Chains A and B, each alone.
Chain A
Amino acid sequence: MKFKRIVVLTLIAMLLSTLAVGCGNDAEPEGGAPADQSENIKVGWVYIGVPGDYGWTYAHNQGREYMEDEIPGVESIVLENVPEGADAERSFEQLAQEGCSIIFGTSFGYGDAMLAVAKKYPDIKFMHATGLETADNLGTYFGRIYQARYLSGMVAGAMTENNQLGYVAAFPIPEVVRGINAFTLGVLAVNPEATVKVVWTNTWFDPTKEKEAAKSLLETGCDVIAQHQDTAEPQVAAEEAGKYSIGYNNDMKEFAPNANLTSPIWNWGPFYVDTIKSVMDGSWTSEAYWGGLDEGIVDLAPISDKVPAEVVEQVEAKKQAMTDKEWDVFMGPIKAQDGSEKVAQGQVLTDAEMLSMDWFVAGVLGNL
């Protein structure tokens, strides 16, 4: 008896819920059957995380939404939380089968999968964020976030009271090492006495671990926490301890209203717009894109009021110098961790040297 009643109720609930959707769909068609097919192209994204991380994937998703506003009629298809192992190749293949004209992958570990699928679908363009290998229809894209990290280091260096800064870092790979070095050089530029202590979490996305790592740094006396992770948890730890923090990926002010000083941020939107437009008008070519402050793909979030005006001025001046390409972060003289001279006066590191960086500058406390 009861069972029957449950079945009937369930069926009614299903019907009602479907009706609700039906109405919703009438009011607002959802890309399913677009009016004008000819103008439409499909664009695919494969995310390593979820937009709700408020970090790396969030920034890419912001860029995607910006693109949707800028180029009406583009249908974007997103696959979230795709692991780098066996699942990656299928995800790119599925987007290719869906008829995407260009597919973006946002994690380094997608390299093999993207290369394999790009080979199978020569007419589809592929763009691999932080990637290494390119092909005729496979490009890579990334930004010189180290420039913004240097600027954030200047802010941090000026605000520390006991000259001990902490850095919660994901993995000892060149991208992260470069960021730590740039940050430290920024710190030392305004505060030669300071040191930057590094803790590795060996994860991109693990809110608990990131927060614990930040806490361990705070307990050893660090009073500014910077980070290279996918979430804002290190900021939250600094906020709770009443210390300062430097965010990453996005303006992390809302997660740490008191602790937040500034954040090096990504601004993928305009890049996505330009790339997709170039696919639409046929001018796309495979390249290894690595834009900097001058292109606007990386930037520094607004600096907190707590930072003295003269520091902000100094930061602005350095930012201008980098935007005008008069100066860059890895310009000699730079000392390595052991005190030996790594980059001589008047020398500048090449892109290849920066992209394969596996050494720390003097002032970093930590091991690779």
Chain B
Amino acid sequence: MAKIKLIRREKESPLARVLVPVTSVLMAFAVGWIILALAGHNPVLVYQKLYNGALGSSYAVSETMVKAIPLMVAGLAVSLAFKMKLWNIGAEGQIYMGALAASWIALNLGQSSGPWLVIPLMMIAAFAAGACWGLVPGVLKAYWQVNETIITLMLNYVAISWVDYLVFGPWKDPNSMGFPLTPIFAPAAQLPTWGDSRVHLGLILAMVIAIIFYLSIQYTRWGYEVRVMGESSAAARYAGMNVTKNIMLVMLISGGIAGIAGMIEVSGITHRLQQGISPGYGYTAIIVAWLARLNPLAIIMVAFLFGALLVGGFAVQIVGVSFSITQVLQGTVLFFLLAGEIFINYKVVLAHKEVL
């Protein structure tokens, strides 16, 4: 009588770190194969389209990048908070507030000033607005232990309503025949793009943020404190670290970075403020952050692969796969990836009864 047992690995195996996710994805595609076939599709054709649509041409890669940029920035934002075990699930709202503040600068200064002034100002405004949206739950948490998960989540709806109010009301383009759009930003308020693709400066920005994040967490005293506070706030307090201050600071920076994600989306892609500027990037970013195990450099990579999955998911509709089946496929991949995580920290052994 053999029995399956899970035993915690003493050390995380680097081989498992690579092999497990790869196997998970392969197994997900195997299950997806069956689902596709049962739905009457040719799996080979569908997977081919998935690949071609996401990575098969320079255009496809550029579009995957476009999709990945906001995921990178928002993923970095939430993972900073997660490092300290602060559950900031409000990146979505922080994105909207960042987009709102950036649009305010763009609409007011875009016509009269050059890009060297307008774009940095948009960034600062977006960071400040996102930071405010992160600071509110941060303060509540730091002083009164109010659950930040709930506050950040609820603030998402407030932020989206603010954007709705402005695009339906005061900021509505008078020439839009009453439709809820702001005017198009002046060229000075638009991020430069790479060649004739839609890949914009936000990509560089995301990488810079990732590197600063990595260096400061890994090599500075503050980064060390954040890591310690994440492990045990009691121990951190005992060691004389100012936990109260750092909760607020981390939530502020986390919100600010998410705000930047909103800015690059309006300035780099939509070129105006409108409804639905983020189709849930703030939530997808949470998955990206966890799959990358909160490692800022891995986030860049995971966000890109995730972008590929999303973009490829749209492309397979061209060969007749419906949106719902695409979602089942994407869900299967996620399910296997997350379920596979257990095999990184644990190993499976077959134990015989008598051994026990």
Interface residues of A (CB under 8 A from B): 1-2, 10-11, 13-14, 17-18, 20-21, 24-25, 30-32, 50, 52, 77-87, 89-91, 93-95, 97-98, 108-109, 112, 132, 171-174, 177, 202, 355-358
Contact = CB atoms under 8 A, between A and B. Distances in A.
B40 A21 contact: yes
Interface in B155-190: 164, 168, 176-180, 184
Contacts of A85: 265, 269-270, 274, 276-279
B318 interface: yes
Given A18-B37, A94-B314, A171 B30 contact: no
Given A132-B176, A174-B177, A78 B317 contact: yes
Q: With a 10 A CB-CB cut-off, give which of A21, A31, A356 has the most chain B CB atoms.
A: A21
Nearest to A11: B30
Contacts of A50: 322-324
Contacts of A173: 178-180
A355 B59 CA distance: 37
B308 interface: no
A102 B43 CA distance: 28
Contacts of B42: 18, 21, 25
A84 B276 contact: yes
A206 to B, nearest CB: 13
Given A17-B38, A94-B314, A202-B164, A87 B179 contact: no
Given A83-B279, A85-B278, A172 B168 contact: yes
Nearest to A203: B275
Contacts of A84: 274-276
Majority SS of interface residues in chain B? helix
Contacts of B276: 83-85, 109
A86 B269 contact: yes
Contacts, number: 116
Contacts of B34: 10, 13-14, 17
A10 B177 contact: no
B177 A132 contact: yes
Contacts of B323: 50, 80-81
A97 B279 CA distance: 25
25 contacts: A10-B31, A13-B34, A14-B33, A14-B34, A18-B43, A20-B38, A21-B42, A52-B324, A77-B320, A79-B317, A80-B317, A83-B276, A84-B274, A85-B269, A85-B270, A86-B70, A86-B269, A87-B279, A91-B314, A94-B318, A112-B271, A171-B180, A173-B179, A173-B180, A356-B178
Contacts of A171: 168, 180
Contact of B179 (A18, A24, A98, A132): A132
Interface residues of B, number: 50
A222 B59 CA distance: 54
A296 B242 CA distance: 72
B66 interface: yes
Nearest to A2: B4
A89 B59 CA distance: 12
Nearest to B64: A90
A87 B37 CA distance: 27
B315 interface: yes
A42 B20 CA distance: 42
Nearest to A77: B318
B66 A14 contact: no
